[in-house]
A and B are shown apart, each in its own frame.
Chain A
Amino acid sequence: MSWTIAVGVKQVPDADEVGIDPDTGRLDRASAPAVMNGPDREALEAAFRIRDQAGGEVIAMSMGPPNATSVLEEAVAMGCDDAVLVSDRAFGGSDTWPTSLTLARTAEALDADVVVCGEETTDSSTGQVPPGIAAHNDWAQLTYAEAVDARPDENRLVARRDVEGGHEVVAADLPVVVAAAYGEFEPRPAPLHRKIYGENDFEPTVWDAEDLEIKDEVGLEVSPTSVGGMETVDPVERKSEVVDDVDDLAESIEEVVA
């Protein structure tokens, strides 16, 4: 048998280019170019390794605005067999609950055996979506996976998980959601002809909330998260003093230590 491996990828503001508005203290995301979330590249690499072992297809899925097609084109350039964009104005304001529901339904519609996600996204850093997908579909989950080992004969996926004080090796029955530990899966370079194809000629399939029959279960209204308020923390002024010789310095240190 061969596996269908779905990979969640997200378009995020380039973290290197995001500035902080000095007046409001808010992140200025608008001016930063949109790029693929870094951990998702590693999720793609983890998926390709699973495909190398088990055979099958890797399909990238993204929930986002229409211009998020660029990250899916990049995913296909890197080696995905296909890609689907889930896009609908109804998704606006969704927190991790409806987001993971949407991706769970997408994975189901793709008939996925394995879902691979990055550990977290660089623009919200909750890490809640991969377990959320597993919870919505009642599938197994392997979070913080440092290494993956596909066992197609057993219909199981084995992962080495990073846990406090060491690691554990866990086998999960399919279908399973994997969150790839960041820094463990060095992405392979895109092959030349695939890169030309992905960036220039490929167009992803687009599904909307209606297609997934979740129109009333997404958006701001059904998102349980509410932000209580924002607070900018001012840096603490540190005491500094210039001393002329070593004895004075020793005295100052003694004062503090005493």
Chain B
Amino acid sequence: MSPELESDTVADPNYDDEFDAIVVGAGLAGSAAALTMANRGLEVLMIERGSSPGAKNVFGGVLYTPTIRELTDFENAPVERYVAERRFSMLTENDETAFSLRPGEWHEEPHNDSYTVLRGEFDEWFAEQAVEEGATLLTSTTVTGLLREDGRIAGVETDRPDGTIRAPYVVLAEGGNSLVSEGANLKATETRENVAVGVKEVLEFPERDGVIEDRFRLTDDAGVSYHYFGEGAVGDAFGGGFIYTNDDTVSVGVAYRIEDAATHDQSPEETLNAFKSHPAVAPLVRNARTVEYSAKTIPEGGADSIPDLVHDGAAIVGDAAGLVLNNGVHLEGTNMAVESGYHAGNAIARAAENGRVGAEALQVYPEALEESFVVQNLEHYKWMMDAVEEDRDLLFEDLPRAFADAGTEYFRIDRTPKESHAKNAKRAVLDAVGGWTGAAKLALRYRKVVT
């Protein structure tokens, strides 16, 4: 007697309109949207081009987690270290002048919701949270375009054979290089003044254990976030450098305007190598082995560059929507990605409950985002990129130089009285900023950075 095959196999599977929503990209914005919609009972398909979520994702290294904490069992999340020190450093070619904060509060839960993470692990975990709530994840599949019916968006096209699938809602969470949204005329291609390039290496220290703890003065799960500005960080480009500590690796990188990368004769890789060789940086990364090299584009157009966030049958979230804040002191994007995915997911769930697909039914998403910290912060710092651009020589070259000179003068040890050292120090700074009047103007112009 021969055994039989069970006969319920589907010969010609078709999933058109089987899902309520398709999410393009399983990064932080996409998974937040998928998780939110799955939580509210929607059937969600996430389509990710990488072999696993996070495989293609790049960011500097610090994730701000208030919203993720709300959405998940965060204590199981694969974080590297909490941020226990933030350090801001001005570099000239040879000098460093730094300002460092180590508040005791950051050592305590919830650690100011600031953690270093590696996206390969974190994004996979976050997408898994959506799958556990019932979402379906499809990897190694690239969305190449949108399906339109009667003018509205009704599904996606992918790079696979038989590759079109219909669904009432599409969430575009495709990241900064948003070819699908641009191809479908949902947003304009960003000008190169508004795009930064980021390159980053993950370094390990094979010689012995404890190198990171020793060099960065850390115990247990504490970590650091170091930001660097000035010509020692990225030459005369518009941007900066960073170092973040992971569990047993360090992320080191630079980010600056793609315009500068295109017009200068130094490649991003060379800029990163120069940064790593700076006398204030090199000792932190010496005897390291590079285990990962990555690069990405960062939308930095701010509030003015946010496209229309909702369309008939679609919403744009995360980097694809240009939701990145970089004002020098704050570098944020992933938290805004999660926040936008959450609000878009909620808006779609509500529209689906009412059986509506038009853009007006999704309008609660941009409205919620307007009221959230995301747009509030982007609006608040809108003026800043222009101001910094205007003062770039002063801020990135003259001031770091002046502060280094002032410090050198102020603490000079010789046989002249300290009063003359102090006078020299003061003059170094005042010369750079244009006297007391210049200093007052500068203080007025940038007061909103911290207020």
Contacts and interface: CB of A to CB of B under 8 A. Distances in A.
Are A and B part of the same complex?
yes
Interface of A: 59, 76, 81-82, 84, 108-111, 188-197, 199-203, 205, 207, 211-212
A246 to B, nearest CB: 33
A81 B159 CA distance: 22
A205 B5 CA distance: 6
A110 B10 CA distance: 18
A81 B2 CA distance: 20
Most chain A beta carbons < 10 A, residue from B9, B11, B162, B165: B9
Main secondary structure of the interface of B (DSSP, over half): loop
B13 A193 contact: yes
Which 9 pairs, one residue from A and one from B, show the smallest C-beta to C-beta distance?
A197-B13, A191-B162, A211-B3, A192-B160, A191-B161, A192-B163, A205-B6, A109-B2, A205-B5
Most chain B beta carbons < 10 A, residue from A190, A195, A200: A195
B10 A201 contact: yes
A188 B162 CA distance: 13
11 contacts: A109-B2, A189-B159, A191-B162, A192-B141, A192-B163, A194-B162, A195-B141, A195-B160, A196-B15, A202-B10, A205-B6
Interface string B144-182: 000000000000001111111100000000000000000
Main secondary structure of the interface of A (DSSP, over half): mixed
B346 interface: no
Contact of A194 (B3, B5, B13, B136): B13
A192 to B, nearest CB: 4
A86 B235 CA distance: 63
B77 interface: no
B138 interface: yes
B425 interface: no
B3 A195 contact: no
A81 B138 contact: no
A201 B45 CA distance: 13
Contacts of A195: 138, 141, 160
A193 B165 contact: yes
Interface string B1-45: 011111001110111000000000000000000000000000001
Most chain A beta carbons < 10 A, residue from B3, B136, B138, B159: B3
Contact of A197 (B3, B4, B10, B163): B10
Nearest to B18: A196
Interface residues of B, number: 23
B18 to A, nearest CB: 8
Contacts of A84: 5
B54 to A, nearest CB: 15
Contacts of B138: 195-196, 199
Contacts of B2: 108-109, 111
Interface string B132-146: 000010100100000
A109 B3 CA distance: 7
A82 B141 contact: no
Contacts of A212: 3
Contacts of B164: 192
Contacts of A207: 3
Given A192-B141, A205-B5, 14 more contacts: A190-B161, A192-B160, A192-B161, A192-B163, A192-B165, A193-B13, A195-B138, A195-B141, A196-B13, A196-B15, A199-B138, A201-B13, A202-B9, A202-B10
Nearest to A208: B3
A193 B167 CA distance: 13
Nearest to B5: A205
A82 B5 CA distance: 8
A195 B6 CA distance: 20
A215 to B, nearest CB: 13
B5 A190 contact: no
A188 B58 CA distance: 29
